Amino acid sequence: MQTNLASWARNSEVGQEADEILRRCVHCGFCLATCPTYQILGDELDSPRGRIYLIKQVFEGAVPTASTQEHLDRCLTCRNCETTCPSGVDYGALIDIGRDVVQQQVRRPLGQRIKRYILRRLLNSIWFSFAYKLGRLSRPVLPRALKNKIVAARPVGSTPDPTRHARKVLLMTGCVQPTMMPTVDAATIRVFDALGFSTIAARGAGCCGAINFHLDAQKDALVQMRANIDAWLPLLDSGEVEAVVVNASGCGAMLKDYPRHLQHDPEYVAKAFRLASKVRDVAEIVAPQAAQLKARLSGLPESVAFHPPCTLQHWQGLSSLTEKMLRDLGFRLLPFSDAHLCCGSAGTYSLTQPDLSLSLRDRKVQSIQAVGAGGVVSSNVGCIAHLQSGTRLPVRHWIEVVDEALDTQTGV
């Protein structure tokens, strides 16, 4: 489509980047059918095409309003729309740019600013663990949106000596998962040990940057990205570790996106590419060795549904690989309708847009329950906690289930 950028946009890097993306869109509307918010709200401005149009208007000089911001806020950044776009519109990059430009011009109401500030500060701080434990104790009296985030504590178990194997990987521990579901990291360490890898906890900024990035603090997110690069790249460059392994697909997707976010930083862009080339979802490491691992598994659950998080399927393109790996490991996966749609978790979306988030969760749970699944496996802490809040079925990371079925007496 044709654009006629305002002079401020024509002369800025983000304006030129946005223009290139906007010009690819032919306004065909194929993306509408795959957009979860359009499916629920039925408003063109809550569809990818409508949001693209809003962003175009802003770059052409229109003054954004609170309503513009709200339509952009309602986007889950699931990037499902990209999968049906015949023109290859990079919607994910455009919505990031659009949100940042709009938040610089529209002052949010005080309540929203406070909420976003508290979320950013709390989730990125050492106080999160304390607050979460307190949340577990006071769960019955918490507001519904917060209550849904509190998952029951499970025994973590012991982990093997991290120097046992010559082959080593860094395990990205992230900001909220060690508190919410420490079992996922422990299970990863044990499964990787069975495959002949020792795992070293990747200490960096604590967070991949996604929380700040999606809560109006893109500059703070860039600081976290650079800190992670500085902490991890020397270990990768020296060959001390082979890869940065991630068991939360949301964090993995963000790490793989570092080159885009740091493209205008001459000091870090090449480093970001080097780091991103070594980032692996756990499934990417386990998949080639699934047959070897299967021989050591017993007692996998009868039939489960695999919920592929958007950050796994649409951002990283790893849904098929993960499904094949699960089948190779011996899982009997039950297909269910609309598996490509977001569950509504989407990082902090479930706290900033609770109504839309809950409707999407309930649709997802209904689809899964309709096929008679005995449980759900997934690949991201946020989706797991979110789905678990809407069903009695057990919802777990697949690596926890593999870990439980693993015979630790044989093998390496």
Contacting positions for ligand SF4 (CB under 6 A): 25-31, 34-37, 48-49, 51-52, 75-81, 85, 87, 89, 91
For the bound state, the minimum distance from the C-beta of residue 82 to ligand SF4, rounded and expressed in Å, comes to 7
Name residue 206's amino acid.
G
Cα separation of 131 and 122, whole Å? Answer: 8
Q: Which is nearer to ligand SF4, 38 or 398 (CB)?
A: 38
Q: Which is nearer to ligand SF4, 28 or 62 (CB)?
A: 28
* 166 backbone dihedrals φ, ψ, rounded to 5°: -70, -35
For the bound state, the minimum distance from the C-beta of residue 239 to ligand SF4, rounded and expressed in Å, comes to 38
- Adjacency order of strands within the sheet including 198-202: 198-202, 168-172, 244-246, 279-281
CB atoms within 10 A of CB 239: 8
Six-digit token pair at 311? 């950050």
Name residue 150's amino acid.
I
Cα separation of 411 and 294, whole Å? Answer: 11
Q: Which is nearer to ligand SF4, 48 or 204 (CB)?
A: 48
Cα separation of 324 and 346, whole Å? Answer: 24
Q: Which is nearer to ligand SF4, 28 or 201 (CB)?
A: 28
Q: Which is nearer to ligand SF4, 78 or 290 (CB)?
A: 78
Measuring CA to CA, which residue among 411, 409, 361, 351 is closest to residue 383?
361
For the bound state, the minimum distance from the C-beta of residue 52 to ligand SF4, rounded and expressed in Å, comes to 6
Cβ-contact 360, 342 below 8 angstroms: yes
Q: Which is nearer to ligand SF4, 90 or 328 (CB)?
A: 90
Cα separation of 55 and 5, whole Å? Answer: 11
For the bound state, the minimum distance from the C-beta of residue 300 to ligand SF4, rounded and expressed in Å, comes to 32
For the bound state, the minimum distance from the C-beta of residue 47 to ligand SF4, rounded and expressed in Å, comes to 6
For the bound state, the minimum distance from the C-beta of residue 165 to ligand SF4, rounded and expressed in Å, comes to 40
| 3 state SS of 261 | helix
For the bound state, the minimum distance from the C-beta of residue 11 to ligand SF4, rounded and expressed in Å, comes to 26
Spatial neighbors of 380 by CB under 8 A, at least 6 apart, are: 248, 249, 250, 309, 311, 312, 345
What is the DSSP-derived secondary structure letter of residue 406?
B
For the bound state, the minimum distance from the C-beta of residue 313 to ligand SF4, rounded and expressed in Å, comes to 12
Q: Which is nearer to ligand SF4, 51 or 280 (CB)?
A: 51
Cα separation of 113 and 55, whole Å? Answer: 22
Q: Which is nearer to ligand SF4, 33 or 156 (CB)?
A: 33
